[in-house]
Amino acid sequence: MDDARRELAGADVLIEHGVITGIGPDLHPHEAAEVVHAAGCIVTPGLVNTHHHLYQTLTRAVPGAQDALLFGWLKTLYPIWSRFGPEEMRVSALTGLAELALSGCTLSSDHLYLFPNGARLEDTIDAAVEVGLRFHPTRGAMSIGESDGGLPPDALVETEKHILDDCIRVIDGFHDPIEGAMVRVGVAPCSPFSVSRELMRDAALLARDKGVRLHTHLAENDEDVADSLSQFGCRPGQYAEDLGWTGDDVWHAHCVKLDEDEIDLFARTRTGVAHCPCSNCRLGSGIAPIRAMREAGVPVGLGVDGSGSNDSGNLIGEARQAMLLQRASGGADAMSARAALEIATRGGAEVLGRDDCGRIGVGKRADIAVWDVSGVEAAGSWDRVALLLAGPRRVRDLFVEGRQVVRDGQLVTIDLPRVLERQRDLAERLAAG
Ligand SMILES: [Zn+2]
């Protein structure tokens, strides 16, 4: 995934101070260097996740939400989420990030848009620091509750003044603009329907003032487009453009229903898309026109989306799903395995504004996934890179900024069994009501 898309056999990768400083055969590291042997493995850039709601890892396969469409699904889950607090946010983020790391992810964004009972964005940042992943949390928001004709219960919405103040607080407190940054904060009202037109506009102004990125859900399904037409009198792309929500510092989740003009708008403005194929299937939203987007020049990354609407957060599995879904609608040549891997690595890095990540190249950050392809899943393969999308579902080793996060298939940064025990306790308490 370097600029020439080279595929090297038997090469070494030299890492120093979090940066890749050499690639090629027979590199001679410093005497004190640690050597990780990767014979029988494929070494790829760490995968990049561009859309998630980590807090939902505590609400998988909830009865009543399993077979509902998007809006009905939300109405089932809101009362459960309103009982969350800081500990639920932290533990669900630890669990979700662990799952991502084991499936090859080194850089993840997150979209947290509800803050009940004292929960704060830093509950999830703390979790990412513990797990050791590069993290782009976005400060989400909802301000239109049930009493104003919105979907969420009033207890889950905030005033728009408080939302903007807290965005400023978390950007000033945690956003790191430098190359190699481990944490970057974005601004992310939940969707055009959950906040006012004024907040969408002010959020865009604030993000530009602070030099941070903008993120939201857009054009997810037919209902979404119909609501945009009836409430705003225009399609989602037009609404986004009118309020400053297009540009190379903006990325939108889903975009399943973008039409030709909207794809053209996104391509012209370099507005990014987080493609979430499993979630789109799970909620019956449709098939996003990813091939057309990429051909037009729209930056596209991959997202697992929240576990409320995916139930899984396995990023290499998501890459395979992206490939299969394009083929289901566009034919066997609609997306190659290499194209899916590109979307999952440098595509996602571009969407998040990280040209220092998502590729193995000299001078790039040392975010690297090592996949053991000597096992039964990969046996008999004639093309191991292509097979990656039907091969192992877990990495053997994972490095972020040169630091080992996974070794021999196990997380070395956190005590995962203990986290899972805590997760079970919290889930049981939530289920009991
Ligand atoms: Zn989402």
Q: Which pLDDT does position 72 carry in this prediction?
A: 78
Of the candidate ranges 42-56, 106-120, 174-188, 298-312, the one whose mean pLDDT is the lowest: 298-312
Q: How far apart are CA 347 and CA 383, in angstroms?
A: 22
Ligand 1 centroid vs 279 CA: distance in angstroms? 8
Q: How far is the CA of 408 from the centre of ligand 1 (A)?
A: 32
Q: What is the mean pLDDT of residues 252-272?
A: 98
Residue 134, helix vs strand vs coil: strand
Residues 283-305 have a mean pLDDT of: 96
Half-sphere exposure of 89 (CA within 13 A, CB side): 23
Cα of 110 vs centre of ligand 1, distance in Å, is 9
3-state helix, strand, coil in the chain (%, to 5): 40, 15, 40
pLDDT for residue 384 is more than 90 = no
* CA 307 – ligand 1 centroid, Å: 9
Q: Rounded mean pLDDT of 166-176?
A: 98
C-alpha 361 to ligand 1 mean position (Å): 31
pLDDT band at 398 (very low <50, low <70, confident <90, very high): very high
Q: What is the mean pLDDT of residues 239-265?
A: 98
Tokens for 256?
């399943």
Rounded-to-integer distance, Cα 59 and Cα 309, Å: 9
- Residue 188's pLDDT band (cuts 50, 70, 90): very high
Q: Provide the mean pLDDT of the chain.
A: 95
How confident is the model over 247-256, as a mean pLDDT? 98
Angle of CA points 278, 281, 283, to nearest 5°: 105
Protein residues with C-beta less than 5 angstroms from the ion ligand 1: 305
Distance 138 CA to ligand 1 centre (A): 12
Residue 189: pLDDT above 90? yes
Give the confidence band of 359 by pLDDT, cuts at 50, 70, 90.
very high
Residue 141 CA, ligand 1 centroid: distance in Å: 13
Residue-level pLDDT at 273: 98
CB-based contact 134:100 (threshold 8 Å): no
Q: How far is the CA of 109 from the centre of ligand 1 (A)?
A: 11
CA of 4 to the centre of ligand 1 (A): 33
Alpha helices in 103-159 (DSSP H): 121-131
pLDDT at 154: 92
CA nearest neighbour of 77 among 144, 156, 148: 156
Residue 26 confidence (pLDDT) above 90: no
308: confidence class by pLDDT, cuts 50, 70, 90:
confident
- Predicted pLDDT at 383: 86
Helix (H) or strand (E) holding 274, with range, is strand 272-275
pLDDT for the residue numbered 433: 77
Phi, psi of 175 (to 5 degrees): -75, 130
CB 365 within 8 A of CB 401: yes
Residue among 206, 170, 102, 184 nearest 351 (CA):
184
- Tell me the per-residue pLDDT of 86-135, one tens digit each, with 9 for 90 and over: 999 999 999 999 999 999 999 999 999 999 999 999 999 999 999 999 99
Residue 70 has pLDDT above 90, yes or no: no
Angle at 345 between CA 185 and CA 248, to 5 degrees: 50
Residue 314 banded pLDDT, cuts 50, 70, 90: very high
Q: What is the CA radius of gyration of the chain?
A: 21
Nearest to 254 by CA among 293, 196, 228: 293
> Is the Cβ–Cβ distance between 8 and 170 less than 8 Å?
no
Ligand 1 centroid–CA 218 distance in Å is: 10
- What's the 305 CA to ligand 1 centre distance in angstroms? 5
CA 413 / ligand 1 centre spacing (Å): 27
| pLDDT > 90? residue 389 | no
CA 253 to centroid of ligand 1, rounded, Å: 7
Q: Which of 229-238, 346-355, 384-393 has the lowest mean pLDDT?
A: 384-393
Which pLDDT value is given to residue 214?
98
Token pair, residue 366, equals: 């040392």
Cα 53 to ligand 1 centre (Å): 6
Tell me what pLDDT residue 326 has: 96
State residue 171's pLDDT score: 98
* Alpha carbons 342 and 107: distance in angstroms, whole number: 15
In which residue are the tokens 């890459």 written? 319
* pLDDT given for residue 431 in this prediction: 87
Angle between helices 86-102 and 121-131 (to 10 degrees): 40
Q: Residue range 38-60: average pLDDT?
A: 95
Whole-number pLDDT of residue 317? 95
Query: What is the whole-number distance in angstroms between the Cα of residue 63 and the centre of ligand 1?
Result: 19
CA of 294 to the centre of ligand 1 (A): 21
Distance 69 CA to ligand 1 centre (A): 14
In the reported structure, the alpha carbon of residue 103 is separated from the centroid of ligand 1 by a whole-number distance in angstroms of 19
Instruction: State the pLDDT at residue 61.
Output: 85
Distance 18 CA to ligand 1 centre (A): 31
Q: In what order do the strands lie in the sheet with 368-372?
A: 41-45, 368-372, 397-400, 403-407, 410-411
Give 306 Cα–ligand 1 centroid separation in angstroms.
6
370 has a pLDDT exceeding 90: yes
pTM of the model: 0.97
- Distance, in Å, from the CA atom of 174 to the CA atom of 188, rounded to the nearest integer, reads 15
Q: Model confidence at 145, in pLDDT bands (50, 70, 90)?
A: very high
With 90 as the cut, is the pLDDT of residue 68 above it? no
Beta bridge partners, 42, equal 371
CA 255/CA 275 separation, integer angstroms: 8
pLDDT at 207 over 90: yes
The pLDDT of residue 413 is 98
**Overall average pLDDT of the 49-70 stretch:** 87
Would the CA dihedral through 144, 111, 279, 334 be positive or negative?
Answer: positive
Reply yes or no on whether the pLDDT at 218 is more than 90: yes
Interatomic CA distance for residues 9 and 385, integer angstroms: 11
pLDDT higher than threshold 90 for residue 74: no
24 Cα–ligand 1 center, Å: 40
Given this model, what pLDDT does residue 391 score?
Answer: 85
Find the mean pLDDT for residues 179-192: 97
